[in-house]
C-alpha cells in the first residue's frame, strides 16, 4: 500500500496507514526524497502511529530518508512511535541515531517550527 504524501505549508507530511512491505518503504523513501526539493519543503514528517512493528529494514530506511533529506537541505522528524514499538526497537538495537523523533504530528510540527524560526517563516496547524 502506497503512503500518501501531503504538502502542508513548507512541510511534507507522510502518514503511514498500514503495515508496509519493503517495496512500499523503498517507494516512500524515493517519493519523499524526490519531492522535497520539487516543492521546496523545509521539513518532512513521517507519521508511523499506525505501525505495530518497526523492523530493522524499516528503521534503516527511515534513517536513510532522514539523512538523504538532510543532504537535500531539509529536516525530517519521525512521529508517533508507540511505546511498545519503541522499546522493542531499542531491544533490537534499532535506535534511529541522528534522527529527530516526536510524540505525535502536533509535536513534530512544533519541532520543525522551532527549527525553522531563523528563516522568518512560522507554520501552524489549526486546532
- CB 114, min distance to other proteins, A: 10
36/56 Cα distance (integer angstroms): 24
- CA dihedral sign of residues 78, 80, 85, 90: positive
CB of 33 or CB of 81, closer to other proteins: 81
Tell the residue number behind the cell numbers 518497526, with chain if given: 54
CB of 6 or CB of 90, closer to other proteins: 90
- CB 40, min distance to other proteins, A: 26
Interface with other proteins by CB under 8 A: which residues?
Answer: 78-79, 81, 83-87, 89-91, 95-96, 101-103, 107-108, 111
CB of 32 or CB of 54, closer to other proteins: 54
CB 65 within 8 A of CB 41: no
Q: What is the helix (H) or strand (E) element at residue 12, kind and residue range?
A: strand 11-15
52/5 Cα distance (integer angstroms): 21
- CB 113, min distance to other proteins, A: 13
- CB 107, min distance to other proteins, A: 6
CB of 12 or CB of 54, closer to other proteins: 54
117/48 Cα distance (integer angstroms): 25
Amino acid at each position: 500500500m502506497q503512503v500518501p504524501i501531503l504538502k502542508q505549508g513548507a512541510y511534507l507530511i507522510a502518514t503511514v496507514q498500514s503495515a508496509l512491505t519493503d517495496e512500499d518503504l523503498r517507494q516512500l523513501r524515493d517519493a519523499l526524497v524526490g519531492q522535497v526539493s520539487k516543492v521546496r519543503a523545509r521539513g518532512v514528517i513521517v507519521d508511523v502511529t499506525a505501525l505495530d512493528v518497526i523492523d530493522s529494514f524499516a528503521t534503516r530506511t527511515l534513517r536513510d530518508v532522514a539523512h538523504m533529506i538532510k543532504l537535500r537541505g531539509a529536516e525530517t522528524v519521525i512521529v508517533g512511535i508507540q511505546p511498545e514499538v519503541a522499546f522493542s526497537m531499542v531491544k533490537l538495537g534499532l535506535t534511529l541515531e541522528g534522527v529527530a523523533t516526536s510524540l505525535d504530528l502536533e509535536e513534530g510540527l512544533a519541532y520543525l517550527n522551532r527549527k525553522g524560526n531563523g528563516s522568518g517563516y512560522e507554520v501552524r496547524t489549526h486546532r
